[in-house]
């Protein structure tokens, strides 16, 4: 699995290159569009990475679940259920 910093750095370098090209042609509209898209995509990517980490860590447990002996493996369905419970809390 690629690490978080590497993914975000790759996203940033892609946008920087496109922004540099727009800057060379003095295309202000393209520069503004790229700036907005980068910020939007960065937020989306961070959310997706947070979800990935949540699923990889086995998600959030209730007090009752924490008292139970830990299972060796958590199924994808159990991880999705934990994510659903987490989103209901917010």
Distance separating alpha carbons of residues 57 and 49, to the nearest angstrom: 12
How many structural domains comprise the chain?
1
pLDDT at 69: 58
- Domain extent at residue 19: 4-89
CB 41 within 8 A of CB 11: yes
Instruction: Give residue 12's pLDDT band: very low, low, confident or very high (50, 70, 90).
Output: very high
CB 34 within 8 A of CB 19: yes
Distance separating alpha carbons of residues 21 and 48, to the nearest angstrom: 28
Structure tokens at 61: 């447990």
Q: What is the pLDDT of residues 25-76, one digit of tens each?
A: 999 999 999 999 999 999 999 999 998 988 887 655 555 555 565 555 667 7
CB 58 within 8 A of CB 74: yes
């Amino acid at each position: 699995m690629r690490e978080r910093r590497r993914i975000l750095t790759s996203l940033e370098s892609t946008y920087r290159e496109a922004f540099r090209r727009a800057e060379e042609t003095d295309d202000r509209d393209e520069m503004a569009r790229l700036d907005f898209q980068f910020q939007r995509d960065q937020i989306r990517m961070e959310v997706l990475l947070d979800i990935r980490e949540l699923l990889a860590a086995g998600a959030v447990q209730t007090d009752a679940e924490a008292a139970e002996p830990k299972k060796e493996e958590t199924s994808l369905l159990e991880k999705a259920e934990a994510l659903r419970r987490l989103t209901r809390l917010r």
